[in-house]
Amino acid sequence: MKKEIRTDKAPQPIGPYSQGLVVGNMIFVAGQGPLNPETGKTPPTIGEQTRQVMTNIKNILEAGGATMDNVVKSTVHLADLKDFQAFNEVYREFFTAPYPVRTTVGSSLLGILVEIDVIAEI
């Protein structure tokens, strides 16, 4: 059985998808961009965008009964792989060892620098 996760503390879906789903003891969080749900604005730098994306993910996980410590896998899309180091500096602030497994790819993103989805165990 799957249960939808919805929170006003993360951007609302702009298509036919959920912010997150609880399936058994797993949470699947949809790809999150850097939109601030309170201001409707996207910050300009990779560091600020990464922080906003991770905050959006954190808020969805909390709405589903989990924390960042529950994350087991993330998939990261960067508009420019040259931003990898700056992205990584902020990303690591949200996790403690053992870190989740991760895939990072260069992607064509429309108007944003980073998008991340995660899978967590609860």
CA pair distance 88, 50, nearest whole angstrom: 9
pLDDT in the model for residue 19: 98
pLDDT in the model for residue 90: 98
Indicate the helix (H) or strand (E) that contains 46: helix 46-63
pLDDT in the model for residue 87: 98
Please count the structural domains in the chain: 1
Residue 16's pLDDT band, with cuts at 50, 70 and 90, is very high
The string of pLDDT tens digits covering residues 24-72 is 999 999 999 999 999 999 999 999 999 999 999 999 999 999 999 999 9
CATH code, domain with 61: 3.30.1330.40
pLDDT in the model for residue 76: 98
For the stretch 66-81, what's the b/e string if a residue is b when 16 or more beta carbons lie within 10 angstroms of its beta carbon? bebebbeebebbbbee
pLDDT in the model for residue 32: 98
CA pair distance 72, 120, nearest whole angstrom: 5
Host domain of residue 31: 2-121
pLDDT in the model for residue 60: 98
CA pair distance 118, 11, nearest whole angstrom: 16
Q: Is-above-0.95 flag for pTM?
A: yes
